Structure 1
Amino acid sequence: MSHTTEWKTHLYLFEEDHATKVRIELDTGTTRLTGHGTARCNPTDSDVPEIGDELAAARALENLAMQLKRTAYTDMAAAGTAPRHAPLSAYDLG
């Protein structure tokens, strides 16, 4: 069975008070999720905005991935096919 679809994402970066904040929005056509991530520059470190952007974006993507995984597990349970392993690891909850 072949299946092709397009999911749309928007990633927004905000700089305020020596912190980079990221919001990433995912629209699958049936589900909308929003991930968030933050990175703060240590006052003793050099200010390199690209590093803050990368770190905050990575954290937002991790947050979004956790939400997407939870959505998939919920959908699996509703379809009567529970996952074979524990749905969330301790890492996922952190």
Structure 2
Amino acid sequence: MRYSTVGWHIELEFQEDDQHTRAAALLRLPDGTEVRTHGHASRHRIDPNQPRVGEEIAAARALNELAMQLLTKAHGEIDQVSGRTSHPINV
């Protein structure tokens, strides 16, 4: 069996203030479809200011939402082609 290599690139951008971090994720699929998601993180006022940690949490939440949207998209395509309802497995 031969495998072909396919690459997808995800862009992440962050907006931050002293207590909030917002991540925006963008995935462009080879067919031209774009999937956009967001994630948020908030720092409690008594916690130390660690911007990277806020970015990691916000990014993880955006990527988790991206994964869920991709599963929904894939199952919609399966349903359309097969004429039946597919059942996604929870991640």
Q: Which TM-score bucket, shorter chain as reference?
A: 0.7 to 0.9
Structure 1: unaligned runs, 5 residues or longer: none
Give 1:4 shift: 2.9
Structure 2: unaligned runs, 5 residues or longer: none
Residues 75 and 27 (structure 1), Cα distance of their counterparts in 2 relative to 1, 3 Å cut: same
Tell me the percent identity: 33
CA offsets 1:12-38 (integer angstroms, 9 cap, x no match): 011035200000100112221011100
Partner of 1:15: 16
Q: Residue 71 in 1 paired to residue 73 in 2? A: yes
Distance in 1, matches of 2:20 and 2:45, equals 11
Distance in 2, matches of 1:73 and 1:6, equals 21
Distance in 2, matches of 1:44 and 1:69, equals 38
Give 1:66 shift: 0.7
- The TM-score normalised by the length of structure 1 is 0.81
2:47 pairs, out of 40, 45, 48, with 45
Please tell me the residue identity of whatever aligns with 1:77: D
Distance in 2, matches of 1:42 and 1:88, equals 34
Asked if the contact 1:6/1:28 (under 8 Å) is kept, the reply is no
CA offsets 1:27-81 (integer angstroms, 9 cap, x no match): 1122210111000000111111111010000000001111001000101101106
